[in-house]
Structures are given as C-alpha cells and as structure tokens.
Amino acid sequence: MQLDIPTLFIVSICITALLGVFLLVLWLQERTGWRAGYMQLGLDVAILLASSPWVDAQRLLLSVVGAAAMNLALAINHRPDRYVAF
C-alpha cells in the first residue's frame, strides 16, 4: 500500500490538530483544576456532533459511545497530582 503526498499531508494535519486539543485540555486542567477526561469528553462530543450532517446515526452513536468510554477511563484514572516531577 502506497500513500501519496496529499494523504500524508492530511494525516499530519489531523495529528497536529489532535495534539493541539490535548495540549489545550492539559493547560486548562492546570489552570482551572477541571479534570482532563471530562473536558476531553466534551470536546470529542462537540466534534462528533459537528460531523453529524455527514455521518449516519449508527456510526455517530458508536463514535460517541467509544469517545465516552475512553474519556471516562481517562477521567477516572488520571489525577493531576499523580504526575508531578520533582
């Protein structure tokens, strides 16, 4: 399987955008004390709802369930005070 340059360009833009969202969430967690998993869940649901005109309802529901499961695991297991460098 070969990937052409436009496909690689689009993939790199998507990865960069996701990393920007992760950095925003972690910055907001440090600044406001809100849990990262809950903020990530809200952003994921907003992105999925924005894609609803182009995606059928079954795939959208599966995506929301998957995003909720992943972000709730992050919200439950991640504590801001756990990863502190000394």
Give CA separation, 43 vs 1, 46, 58, 71, 73, in Å: 33, 5, 20, 10, 15
pLDDT given at position 51: 86
Identify the pLDDT of residue 16: 92
Kindly report the number of other CB atoms within 10 A of residue 40's CB atom.
23
Give mean pLDDT in consecutive 10-residue pieces for the chain, a chain of 86 residues: 83 88 85 81 82 88 84 73 62
* Residue 25 confidence (pLDDT): 84
